[in-house]
Amino acid sequence: MNNKILTTISGSLPKPNWLAEPEKLWSSWLLQGEELIKGKKNAIKIAVDNQINSGLSIIGDGEQTRQHFVTTFIEHLTGVDFQNKKIVRIRNRYDASVPVVVSEIRREKSVFVDDAKYLRSLTKLPIKYTLPGPMTMVDTLYDEYYKSREKLAEKFAEVLNKEAKELEDAGIDYIQFDEPAFNVFFDEVKDWGIKILEKAASNLKAKTIVHICYGYGIDANIKWKNSLGNEWRQYEHVFPLLAKSKIDQISLECQNSKVPMDLIALLKGKKILVGAIDVGTKKIETPEQVANILRKAIKFAEPKNILGCTNCGLVTFSQDVANAKMKALADGANILNKELGL
Ligand code: ZN
């Protein structure tokens, strides 16, 4: 195996405009029944082709079969009432109407395994699948049953681990848990967050990733980011704990962010997904801008431990913008690979 800097996206890609309303988060499906099932499959194929054509090295499904990165998974579990929702504050930032945990959480059947098998059939390149992280799942619900965030998270870790094992059996090489809540609830991360994430990721042959981020470019997140001051040091709380954990790879956002690059040094021994594509602007990065970010990153970690990535998902863009951003990511990594003789 060579030591080239590989590239991948953090997860979501735009959906085709015949499948869901484009350039919007959480938009509703425009198809129904059999048509919707077929449409989602076609969309995965398009997402895979676009990533391969852009030159990325690790390929995902672009999250084409889910409306929301957390609730679509939870919809497939028993124990959660989606009819009678309640209003809660998400990550201390914005109010949302959320489903309610009313009885024991169970996963009666696999959620994404068919999609994963289909993804495997489309490419020989390494493939990755994203799942929500337990703490972020807890933070997206109202709990009337367990009445303990830790206990509920533990339940979610059990079902996530079952799902992850089946994804791995379907041929998935990388399993990513999305835990934006790790950037907010520092005490909980320390007390139980890492331990329970490790449970979700336990006994897997697939490489495991945790994606922590500052979120999509929605107003509530932009406002929050503006309140964080000149340096964003949130990762500083979490990285030393993750460095000691069994999670293999950790992501952070670097393009147009105020995250000090030296925080990477806290992740000794881990692979680091360096966010080199901004998801808050339609402006396309140049390959040189991507290469610049990666150049900064290799001051604090060996190139073989660095991957080029997006700051977060690309779902809110048009397909043309997303494709151009992915190509800039791959081309930028290639500039550096050439420079380093990799
Ligand atoms: Zn994200």
What mean pLDDT value characterizes the chain? 95
Does position 1 have pLDDT exceeding 60, yes or no? Answer: no
State the pLDDT at residue 278. 95
Whole-number Å distance, alpha carbon 275 to ligand 1 midpoint, is 10
Q: What is the pTM of this model?
A: 0.95
Whole-number Å distance, alpha carbon 69 to ligand 1 midpoint, is 10
Give the H or E element holding residue 80. strand 78-90
CA angle 245, 263, 239 (to 5 degrees): 20
Whole-number Å distance, alpha carbon 123 to ligand 1 midpoint, is 25
State the pLDDT at residue 116. 98
CATH number of 6-340: 3.20.20.210
Q: Provide the H-helix boundaries in 194-282.
A: 194-200, 219-226, 235-243
Whole-number Å distance, alpha carbon 100 to ligand 1 midpoint, is 24
The whole-angstrom separation of Cα 74 and Cα 271 is 29
Residue 207 bridge partners (DSSP) = 174
**DSSP state at residue 223:** H
Whole-number Å distance, alpha carbon 175 to ligand 1 midpoint, is 15
Q: What is the mean pLDDT of residues 224-233?
A: 87
The domains of the chain are located at 6-340
pLDDT tens digits, 279-331: 999 999 999 999 999 999 999 999 999 999 999 999 999 999 999 999 999 99
Q: Collect all residues with Cβ–Cβ distance below 8 Å to 295 and sequence separation of at least 6.
A: 336
Residues near ligand 1 ion, CB 5 Å cutoff: 213, 312
